[in-house]
Chain A
Amino acid sequence: MLAQTIRRLIVAVPTLLAIITACFFLMHAAPGGPFTKERQVPPAIEARLEAKFGLDLPVHEQLMRYLSGLARGDLGPSMVYKDKTVGDIIAEGAPTSAILGISAMALALLIGGGLGIMAALRQNQAQDYVVMALAIAGVCLPPLVVGPIVQLVFGVQLQILPTGGLYRDEFGLRYLVLPVFTLALPLIAIISRLMRASMIETLRSNAIRTARAKGLPEAQVILRHALPIALLPIVSYVGPALAGVMAGSFVIETVFQLPGIGKQFVLAAGQRDYTLVMGVVLVYSVLIILFNLAADLMYRVLDPRARAT
């Protein structure tokens, strides 16, 4: 298992290189540059700016420069935010995105998982239909719509929860309620549907029939025998999805004014802040690779068949 983990991590290096290269060329193919603005920078200054960031070099040389910096652990200076490096900006934003993403995913697993199991046990009954209808609604309503609605209802009209994400520069539980809920809603919807389908299938399997035949109490059948097997598709969904929410959600971070890296990423792309875009892509890629690996390891814990191979 350790050997396999190490092998996977080694394979990750060329994957990351490929991602960086593709992203680098894509970004440089977009028209405009970090110094194109409403007011023109004097040509002499623009030339110096470009020289400072190496933008006057051919693209492949810029890539080599970037990669050699990366090898030394240097993500480079931000091309737009003049007082900060990419490392500074990611370090400021990553904790918020991570807290938000992990809380939303935990909430989604609890609620979505619970609802899914309930729906599966009451298949084709009223509860099932209600849960599935809610799930469809959750998938259909994008956070861009839900966010402002909950802000208006709970923040402006009822005035029981703040509309923003933090108390000025401090984290506070009350301040995270609305953003976490909004971020979790589509996850709850997807997880409950996955859980229901997977649980229904598992309940029909031979293993569960055997367990029931042995006369085990229903709760034990569900929790001890069916749940681990039924969780497998959830695990493979949660791995990459968690990487996605932890790398930040532009919509949530904008609507609730949270200092995460999702917002930084989208703004940076618009401002052609090449190094910052690359930095966030890198963080996201590393998370994806790690969580996919973690999901595979979880498989081994949950599924005896995977352990055997």
Chain B
Amino acid sequence: MAFWTNRRSLLAGAGGLGVTTSLGACANGRIIGFDKVRKTLDISNQGEPLSLDPHKASGSWENNVIGNMFIGLTTEDEKSEPIPGMAERWETSADGRTWTFYLRRALWSDGEACDAHDFEFGFKRILNPETLSDYASILYPIKNAQAVNNGEMDPDLLGVTALDDLTLEIQLEHPAPYLPQLLKHYTAYAVPKHVVERHGAAWVKPENIAVNGPFKVEKWWSNYIIHLVRNPSFFDANNVVLEHLYYYPTTDVNAAARKVMSGEAGWSTRFPSNQVETLRAALPGYVRVAPYLTCNYFSFNTTKAPFNDPRVRQALTMAYDREFVASQIYKTGERAAFSLVPPGIANYPGTARYPWMNVPIAERKREAERLLRAAGFGPNNPLRFEFSHRNTSDNPRVAVVAQNDWTSIAPWVSVELRGVEVQVHYANLRAKNFDAGDGGWIADYNDAKNYLYLFETRTGAQNYAGYSNPAYDQSVHLSDFESDAARRGELMNQAEQLALNDAPMCMSVFINSTNLVHPDITGYEDNLEDIHRARWFGIREA
């Protein structure tokens, strides 16, 4: 009897399971995030683009979309290394200041020729102050770019000239061996001159736009979806596999992960790092963690007491237990930062380090106390300051660790924490309205200059620490005018060591990129820039 009951309940159970599965399977209209038949990929992107105009973009989530629509003189391969894009080859003059690019014959998606004139137009447009580009400043190595961008010079005097339809000459202020890196950045994309002249700012609307890249925007529904379709006019269109890309701005990382777990997205450009183990178990083969061009660091306001004394800054930098933060707060293998420039940067020796890097933390704290006492602090003159931090993601938890490390140097050190909304926080940093404050930095291209720039005197408000060291400025300046890549790297490395010794900042951790990627997507390669162009994606058949 018991046997029968069991068998019946087993059968009922099986029937129930069957119903559930069939409902799941025949649920018509269910989104398949990576649809191999329709060659469609749904992507959880970490934010809503503020613009699809490459000259007005400024975020990595915008780059994720725009970089699939436009191609610069150079472009990214699967590993985000620079390879020929619209330019088939280029030559550099002996002094490294004149570059000549030879373009391939190619078309815009509306059938018009995409040539050197579009590039000349593009560079002049982004640097024209009327365009109001946030990001034009990264093109300042181009001759006269800064003066043009500041409105002090006519854009026609910019050092970019179309010698003929397929030859473009770029003159530089100083040698820049990293130019191929820079020219694959979205600020250096060509825009279709004929369309921009016809439609003005509205050229980028889906009904007007023309692109030279592998995909073209079909629809953009604010803060919800961007639909790209394959562009048959793209010069390498025959090798582009995917037909449709749908981007969803998913600011909530948990929702982004759920969308992949439910199969509605084939790729999420982020996931919650504290759930990495759960995700590894639930989604075998999806989790991708890789070193990234991002660092978190704290700035000390060197323009006023107590942080105008380098000993105080050195003491606090030394006493901060970044290994603990890297291993306990972050869960995806983040690395403690003992340098300003992350490891693995191109053309860079990367040997600059905090000198006490291998000293155990307890000993570092004793040394920190000695430094603070030497700076005149002690039981009768306690060190008190405020540490402001962004109140987002893991930053508040990191702040508590820093507070604990600093107050444990000596009983007369006290730190008050202040969590601030991101926008307000950066406004305070720029106005030097802070004692010590956290911040993050994502480099725009793979070059050490991108980090060293943060501490140059001429950087102005974004040099939050207000750090000013003539020797540092001089080294960085010299490196700008050095055409030999190895020598240039050496100069920058020296500058980095100076900044680490002076400690206007306390380096915290190098953040990793985190992606969830359907294992059947081929052509996705982990890389330092976290740039993955859909042009390279293919489909692995089971």
- Which A residues are closer than 8 A to B by beta carbons? 30-33, 35-45, 48-49, 52, 80-84, 88-89, 92-93, 148, 151-152, 155-156, 158-160, 162-164, 166-169, 172, 174, 254-255, 257-259, 263-264, 267, 270-272
Contact = CB atoms under 8 A, between A and B. Distances in A.
A259 B461 CA distance: 36
Contacts of A174: 27, 29
A257 B262 contact: no
A93 B205 CA distance: 17
A80 B428 CA distance: 20
Contacts of A80: 50
Interface residues of B, number: 63
26 contacts: A32-B427, A36-B427, A37-B58, A38-B422, A39-B462, A40-B462, A42-B150, A44-B150, A44-B151, A45-B132, A48-B129, A83-B53, A152-B258, A155-B262, A156-B261, A159-B27, A160-B27, A162-B31, A163-B264, A164-B248, A168-B225, A257-B224, A263-B223, A267-B251, A270-B422, A272-B423
Nearest to B444: A39
Contacts of A155: 258, 262
B424 A31 contact: yes
Contacts of B137: 42
* Closest A-B pairs by Cβ, 5 of them: A259-B224, A159-B24, A32-B423, A82-B51, A40-B462
Interface of B: 20, 23-24, 27, 29-31, 42, 48, 50-53, 56, 58, 129-130, 132-137, 149-151, 201-202, 204-205, 219, 221-225, 227, 246, 248, 250-252, 254-255, 258-259, 261-262, 264, 421-424, 426-428, 430, 439-441, 460-462
A168 B244 CA distance: 11
Given A36-B430, A156-B261, A255-B255, A81 B23 contact: no
Contacts of B58: 37, 39
Q: Could you tell me the dominant secondary structure of chain B's interface residues?
A: mixed
Contact of A42 (B130, B149, B227, B251): B149
B460 to A, nearest CB: 7
Contacts of B219: 169
A87 B461 CA distance: 35
A90 to B, nearest CB: 9
Given A83-B205, A156-B261, A162-B31, A267 B421 contact: no
A169 B247 CA distance: 11
B50 A38 contact: no
A247 B193 CA distance: 40
Given A44-B149, A44-B150, A169-B219, A38 B27 contact: no
Contact of B29 (A92, A172, A257): A172
Nearest to A158: B20
Given A31-B427, A45-B132, A162 B223 contact: no
A92 B132 contact: no
Contacts of B423: 31-32, 36-37, 270-272
Contact of B222 (A32, A42, A84, A255): A84
Nearest to A276: B222
A168 to B, nearest CB: 6
Contact of B259 (A92, A172, A257, A264): A257
